[in-house]
Every structure is written in structure tokens, then in C-alpha cells.
Amino acid sequence: MITARKLSRRFGDKRVLEGVDLDVPRGGFVLVTGPNGSGKTTLLRLCAGLAAPSGGELEVNAPRETIGFLAHEPLVYRELTALENLDLYGRLYRIPERRERCGAMLERFGLWDARNERAGTFSRGMLQRLALCRTFLHEPDLLLLDEPFDGLDAEGAELLQQELVARSRCTALVATHDPDALAARATGRLALA
């Protein structure tokens, strides 16, 4: 589903990614590891189409509407409630039975009771849960997850593990500093230097 050959990305004179080869087959679950600044986030942004490569080849066989992208930022409006945020994305992704789906996602990640609270009042962990709801809302086929356990407590991490197990048919590229948490699910690894 994702193929990269000698992929590189530079910001001015600074090399962020250089000569990366990557194969993520359909249904594959590949972990991307590496120290800070090694280009994990940049690789995910390239795969999401949010940035263009400086060199090499990148092929992602997934239309935009089938990509679930979890970024460092939760990508939710702080002045909108949890439900309003999901409703906005639900409209843009044209999700059938949108309201029911938004409610189900909030329940699944333990945010139902906070559905009418503004995202700006959420803790870091709650924001991450809301970001996960947004990521999975439209039933994506390709998951691009950047540090998915970031900020989650033990219960939140368990809910995410359950969600990933339930989505075993999804293809995933996951940047993480904690590969052990996803080792059982992983079909491949890419170590960036």
C-alpha cells in the first residue's frame, strides 16, 4: 500500500529524511522508530500527502478519504465541544448516520460524558482520546499514527490497543518511541537514524 524508494526530505539545508526505503503491504503494520529529529513525523506527513518529498519516490495507494492521520497536535478546535469537533469531521468525510457514529466513537474512548465540553478544557490525555476518535471516525483503511500512546493513561492505552485489534485489517504505519507496546501487532519495522 505504501512504497518508498530513496525517499528524502529537506528543509532548506537541513536533511530530515535521506534515502529511506519502505514497503508497507496491504494489511501490514509497520513501526517507525528512531531518536528525536530522525524524521518519523516527516515520513508520516509525506505519506499523508501533507508534504512533498525533496527526492526519491513515494507511492501511497490510498485515497485521501481512506487515510486516518493522528498527528502530534490533536487537530481539533479548542472552542468547539468534543461532539461538535467530531460532527464537523463527520460532515466533511460524509459519514452516513454521522451523529450515531460520533456518539459511538466518544463512548468507545470514554469521552461520552464530556461530549458537550469544549476541547480547550480537556487534559492532554482526553485530547489524545478525542484525536483518536477523529482518526478512526471515518473507518480508514490506512492508519498513519504519530505516537498514538502519547498522553494516554493505562485505560486509554488499553482502549487504543483494543481499537487496533478490532482494526486488524487496516494497514498501519506507526511512529513510536515505545515499539514494545505494539510489538505483538507489528509485521515490520523501520529504524530511522
Partner 1 sequence: MSRYAADVTALARKDLLLELRSRDTLPAMLLFVVSALAVFHFALPSGSSARAETGLLWIAIVFTALLGLTRAFSAEREQGLLDGLVLAPCDRSAIWLGKTIGVTAFLVLAEIVALPAFALFFHPLSWELVAAVALADLGIAAIGTLLAAIAAASRARELLLPLLFLPLAIPVVIGGVGASVGSNPASFLGFLGLYDAVFAILSWASFEYVVTE
Binding site for partner 1 (CB under 8 A): 45, 48-52, 63-65, 67, 69, 71-80, 84, 88-89, 91-94, 118, 134
Neighbours of 123 (CB within 10 A): 10
Min separation Cβ 50 and partner 1, Å: 5
For residues 151 and 179, which CB has a smaller minimum distance to partner 1 in the complex? 151
For residues 23 and 55, which CB has a smaller minimum distance to partner 1 in the complex? 55
For residues 91 and 189, which CB has a smaller minimum distance to partner 1 in the complex? 91
Q: Cα separation of 193 and 188, whole Å?
A: 17
Min separation Cβ 22 and partner 1, Å: 19
Min separation Cβ 16 and partner 1, Å: 14
Q: DSSP letters of 79-146? A: TSBHHHHHHHHHHHTT-TTHHHHHHHHHHHTT-GGGTTSBGGG--HHHHHHHHHHHHHTT--SEEEEE
Min separation Cβ 183 and partner 1, Å: 28
Q: DSSP letters of 131-184? A: HHHHHHTT--SEEEEESTTTT--HHHHHHHHHHHHHTTTSEEEEE-S-GGGGTT
For residues 24 and 76, which CB has a smaller minimum distance to partner 1 in the complex? 76
Half-sphere exposure of 57 (CA within 13 A, CB side): 5
Min separation Cβ 95 and partner 1, Å: 11
For residues 77 and 99, which CB has a smaller minimum distance to partner 1 in the complex? 77
